[in-house]
Amino acid sequence: MKRGLLPEPSSHSRASSSSSSNQPHYRDPMRLGNSADAAYDQMTQLMNPTPSEDSDATTNPPVLTPEEAFRQRLLEKQSQQKSEISQQKSEIERMKKIIEDQERRIAAQSIDIDVRVEAQVEARLAELKTQMLQSMDDRVLELIRIPMLGSGAPAVLPEDETDEEVGDGEDDGTFGEDE
């Protein structure tokens, strides 16, 4: 720790100082006016740089002990690792959002596909039902329609369309005559 040094105002500069620079002189409040003050002031100026000399501190970094240098490198590495981890976390969050967005789009497409397939299946079923009903109507009309022969006698149905129940096994040759 440095002893309490106070800058001496430039208007009170001592005549005994041989320094030609515009640097302020520093005076130890514990020492009052002895002959070694000039040498002490010069030494204090060298040890305590002025603010204009502080800007040069970046070009001449302070000498660090091996432990301090190790700690500084360790802190720099930790800071760099924290920065990299933060960037990786940001990238992971961005990728998660992309994946969630894609999952939502896939789910929406899946629902859309399900709805379209269901509509197509229902339309095909309705078409088949209509075709089946039309075919049944045609057959029923064909079975019901009995062309009349010249005397009004019913026509015989084609064999492939007759049921075994149509005839009861009796002789049908005398249809309509009383026995």
Phi-psi domain of 59 (left: phi exceeds 0; alpha: psi -120 through 50; beta: other): alpha
What is the average pLDDT score of the chain?
73
In DSSP notation, the chain reads -----EEPPGGG--TT----SSPPPEE-TT--S-TTHHHHHHHHHHHS--HHHHGGGGTSPPP--HHHHHHHHHHHHHHHHHHHHHHHHHHHHHHHHHHHHHHHHHHHHHHHHHHHHHHHHHHHHHHHHHHHHHHHHHHHHHHH--PBPTTSPBPPPPGGG--TTT--SS--TTTT---
What would the two tokens of residue 31 be?
A: 């020492």
At 11, the pLDDT band (50, 70, 90 cuts) reads very low
This prediction has a pTM of 0.35
At 143, the pLDDT band (50, 70, 90 cuts) reads confident
How does pLDDT run across 26-48, given as a tens digit for each residue?
A: 555 555 555 566 667 776 777 66
The confidence score (pLDDT) of residue 144 equals 82
